[in-house]
Amino acid sequence: MKTRKRILPLSLVQTGSVLANDLLGPGGTTLLTAGCEISDDTLKSLGRRGIELLAILENDTRSAEDIASQQIAAGERLRLLFRHTRGNDLLLDLHAVVAQYRQDSLA
Amino acid sequence: MSKELADDLVKRLARLPALPAVVQDILTSLDDEEMHADTFIHRVNTDPVLVARILATANSAVYGRTTPVASLKEALPLLGMNQLRQLILVTSLMQAFDKQGGAGFDRKNYWSHSFAVATCARTIAQWANENADTAYSAGLLHDIGHLLLSTVEPEKVALVYQDMETEQCSMIDAERTIMGIDHAELGLHMARHWQLPSALTEAIGLHHEPDKIDSPAALTDIVHVAEVLACALDLGTLPNSSVPPLSPMSFARLGLHWPSLARRFPEIEARFLSAAHFLED
């Protein structure tokens, strides 16, 4: 099964989710390793440690066509949002950076 | 359109409900690390409805409890003073303004946009080594003038939206055409009326025009860029939203670099999702 990484606030992580990256504590020690399954006790323990966000792996059931159409829709939405930015180089740069981010996160 | 209407709007500020005392306390103590938690919590505890709402939100955000958090004192070590302060600020502001806004006012959208700008402001402040909590609060309050306009002049605000659509102009331009004043200027008057700290007042009043500041202020720059970024990331936007103009001076003063900041986009989006808790009824 294909997966993709997603960053979520702890409050929206469901038990049974799979951790995408090693989770390091303040001193650089490994608290959890990538690939481990998140249990309810793990969530509680992370909450007590002040962890607010987790990178988890989600099953990706989208077809190649689904992905392509999502990427096209994202590009169109960005063009609409950035429709009044002509002549501002910084906003053109931001448009390009967000477009790349969207394409990568949807791939 | 009319200077009289603008003057009248400003005069009517005095008749608005006072800002909740606890909000005043938080906003005037954002830089005060030594603030006494007990005094602060005691003040909040005088409003049981507010406490109940804060605890409901705290319990949905705090893991590691087999029994629900039952008091603010209990929530403090779990959330930390800064997070508790922000939670109280958001909850009390939403409670105070729950009944504000005319018939056409979209409360959910207003707060969603405010959360989006606040979330981006916090990240930008961290990047620029500025106070992240102050930036979050400024982001939360930056459009308070819009809330006021929607309260006292709902029909005119509806005309503003119409004008934006037909003229393809910004909200600021449409407000100035129709009312002779814009939401940022009105927010500035409101912030002064409430005697908010000067940096916060300036950020509210000049977040669309940061280059008008005599001496550059980081907080105004942060809120200005945060609004641009929130819109670019499509957070708290409307179907017809567009990314507002960006001041190259603000961007340069903060030492920002889009490709580097992009590494934090997933975090910004996740924190925005988390903030959306507050909008759930």
Q: Find the radius of gyration of the CA atoms of chain A.
A: 18
Q: What is the mean pLDDT of chain B?
A: 83
Q: Note the pLDDT of residue B20.
A: 78
Nearest chain A CA: its distance from B236 CA (Å):
12
Query: In the predicted model, is pLDDT for residue B243 greater than 80?
Result: yes
> Could you report the per-residue pLDDT of B107-120, keeping only the tens digit for each?
788 889 999 999 99
Is B82 at the interface with chain A, CB within 8 A? no
- Is A8 within 8 Å of B270 when comparing Cβ atoms? yes
Nearest chain A CA: its distance from B229 CA (Å):
8
Tokens of B189: 């008057």
Tokens of B106: 């979209």
Query: In the predicted model, is pLDDT for residue B75 greater than 70?
Result: yes
- Chain A positions touching B168 (Cβ under 8 A) are 84
Helix, strand, coil distribution of chain A in percent, nearest 5: 45, 20, 35
Nearest chain A CA: its distance from B66 CA (Å):
9
Of B84, B94, B100, whose CA–CA distance to B44 is shortest? B84
Alpha-carbon gap, residue B108 to B112, rounded angstroms: 6
Q: What confidence tier does B125 reach under pLDDT thresholds 50, 70, 90?
A: very high
- Chain A positions touching B232 (Cβ under 8 A) are 78, 81-82, 94-95, 98
Q: Burial of B29 by CB count in 10 Å (0-12 exposed, 13-18 middle, 19+ buried)?
A: middle
Q: Note the pLDDT of residue B81.
A: 72
Alpha-carbon gap, residue A63 to A67, rounded angstroms: 6
- Is A50 within 8 Å of B259 when comparing Cβ atoms? no
Residues of chain A scoring pLDDT < 50: none
> Could you report the per-residue pLDDT of B133-145, keeping only the tens digit for each?
889 989 999 998 8
CA angle B210, B214, B217 (to 5 degrees): 55
- HEC string of B207-235 equals CCCHHHCCCCCHHHHHHHHHHHHHHHCCC
| Selection from A42-51, B25-34, B124-133, B212-221 with the highest mean pLDDT | B124-133
Higher pLDDT pick, B224 / B39: B224
Closest to B234 (Cβ–Cβ): which among A8, A81, A94?
A81
Alpha-carbon gap, residue B130 to B256, rounded angstroms: 13
Closest to B243 (Cβ–Cβ): which among A9, A45, A85?
A85
Q: Note the pLDDT of residue B212.
A: 87
Find the farthest-apart pair of alpha carbons in chain A and give their distance in angstroms, rounded: 53
Query: In the predicted model, is pLDDT for residue B38 greater than 80?
Result: no
Alpha-carbon gap, residue B217 to B250, rounded angstroms: 9
H helix or E strand, kind and range, residue B99: none
